[in-house]
Amino acid sequence: MIVVVCPGQGSQTPGFLEPWLADPAFAGELREISDAVGIDLVAHGTTSDADTIKDTAIAQPLIVAAGLLTLKALLADGRREKIGGIAGHSVGEVTAAAGAGILSNADAVRFVRERGSAMAAAAAATPTGMSAVLGGDEAELLAKLSELGLEPANFNGGGQIVVAGALDALAALAENPPAKARVIPLQVAGAFHTRYMTPAVEHLASVAASLTPADPTLPLWTNKDGSLVSNGAQFVELLVGQVSSPVRWDLCMESFAAAGVTGIIEVAPAGALVGLAKRALRGVPSLAIKTPDDLPAAFELIDQAS
């Protein structure tokens, strides 16, 4: 069973879409998405620097657009029927919602445009940040976070938890980490998936009310708790709430294993989720689609599993 996974914020790198735009078909599709969101994603995917594409309001539409381009090629020619399921990490859940047929591409890009801008505004209201904590005892870490007023934002599996909150509290955690743990500050604009994103949730609830979701036509796992969601409207509600609640990617990967996953394919901008799978799903073949040159190998992996 092949599971397609869609990455979240931080997976973008300068120029990562340049190989895709060498194909006129991909270039035309990206221009259409750019026009729909009112952001020059062609420039941001090719010539913009790292600081520019780190901006949440730019990064999120850029990542989802790249995923949509990949999915269109990956799931064409009857391959969609051979896929065992799909899931996304954080903003990648918007990509996954489109891949599963819950949202049209147009609704997905409209939602992610509002998500990115609302989260950027919430992050600008209070100076906050995020850090990755590698290793150590989870219970000890969670107790320490509670003492410092920090929150777990991403349970990524493989001994990695991303935490978020006030900058001084993150600095205090780095100075005195739990035993056998390393704390690595992340270059992000705010404390995503925490209480600091509450204003964004309120805005996205109104955006979600204007959408017309369908029920998924592919098995779809949620970041909420790793469970399968069969109701499209429910999944959109989870997309809204996810902005201020932890991403349980560890539970998603546990669900993949329980479902009998035999291969993982990550859509562009790929790499991060394949890396997590190699640690948490040892022995399961995985493939990161970074450029169109990676598509034939992905097609082969799908064909071998069917």
Is the predicted pLDDT of residue 137 greater than 70, yes or no? yes
pLDDT digits (tens, 9 = 90+) for 63-75: 999 999 999 999 9
Place of tokens 């204007």: 210
Residues 6+ apart with CB under 8 A from 159: 134, 135, 136, 279
Same domain? 246 vs 272? yes
Give the pLDDT confidence score for residue 188 in this predicted structure: 83
Query: How distant, in Å, are the alpha carbons of 45, 112, 244 from that of 210?
Result: 29, 14, 21
Catalytic residues: 90, 193
Same domain? 154 vs 256? no
Element of type H or E holding 88: strand 83-88
3-class secondary structure per residue, 17-46 = CHHHHCCHHHHHHHHHHHHHHCCCHHHHCC
Same domain? 180 vs 58? no
- Tokens read off for 224: 């909420």
Percentage of the residues of the chain whose pLDDT score is greater than 90: 96
Domain CATH code at residue 158: 3.30.70.250
Closest CA to 65 of 31, 89, 88: 31
Percentage of the residues of the chain whose pLDDT score is greater than 70: 100
Q: Report angle CA 21, 22, 28 to the nearest 5 degrees.
A: 45
- Average pLDDT for 99-124: 96
pLDDT digits (tens, 9 = 90+) for 153-167: 999 998 899 999 999
Give the pLDDT confidence score for residue 288 in this predicted structure: 98
Give the pLDDT confidence score for residue 51 in this predicted structure: 92
Same domain? 238 vs 177? no
Give the pLDDT confidence score for residue 212 in this predicted structure: 93
Residue type, 264: I
Counting the structural domains of the chain, the total is: 2
Burial of 224 (0-12, 13-18, 19+ CB in 10 A): buried
Same domain? 178 vs 215? no
Instruction: Decide: 199 and 122 in contact? Cβ < 8 Å.
Output: yes
Handedness of CA 45, 46, 50, 55 (dihedral sign): negative
Same domain? 169 vs 271? no
Same domain? 44 vs 33? yes
- Average pLDDT for 126-135: 95
Radius of gyration from C-alpha coordinates of the chain: 18
Mean pLDDT of the chain: 96
Same domain? 23 vs 104? yes
Burial of 213 (0-12, 13-18, 19+ CB in 10 A): buried
Is the predicted pLDDT of residue 234 greater than 80, yes or no? yes
Instruction: Decide: 119 and 38 in contact? Cβ < 8 Å.
Output: no
Place of tokens 């309001």: 57
Omega prior to 246 cis, within 30 of 0:
no
Cα of 43 vs its chain's centroid, Å: 21
User: Quick check: helix, strand or coil at residue 155?
Assistant: strand
**Of 186, 205, 233, the domain-final residue:** 186
Same domain? 165 vs 231? no
pTM assigned to the model: 0.95
Q: Which residues pair with 129 in a beta bridge?
A: 165
- Average pLDDT for 7-15: 94
Instruction: Decide: 108 and 236 in contact? Cβ < 8 Å.
Output: no
Instruction: Decide: 286 and 266 in contact? Cβ < 8 Å.
Output: yes
Give the pLDDT confidence score for residue 305 in this predicted structure: 82
Place of tokens 């780095």: 174
Is the predicted pLDDT of residue 28 greater than 90, yes or no? yes
Same domain? 271 vs 298? yes
- Tokens read off for 44: 């941001």
- Average pLDDT for 14-41: 95
Is the predicted pLDDT of residue 306 greater than 80, yes or no? no
Cα of 47 vs its chain's centroid, Å: 23
Domain CATH code at residue 33: 3.40.366.10
- How far, in Å, CA of 52 to CA of 40, rounded? 12
Host domain of residue 243:
2-124+194-305
Same domain? 151 vs 252? no
Same domain? 79 vs 30? yes
- Average pLDDT for 249-269: 97
Give the pLDDT confidence score for residue 158 in this predicted structure: 85
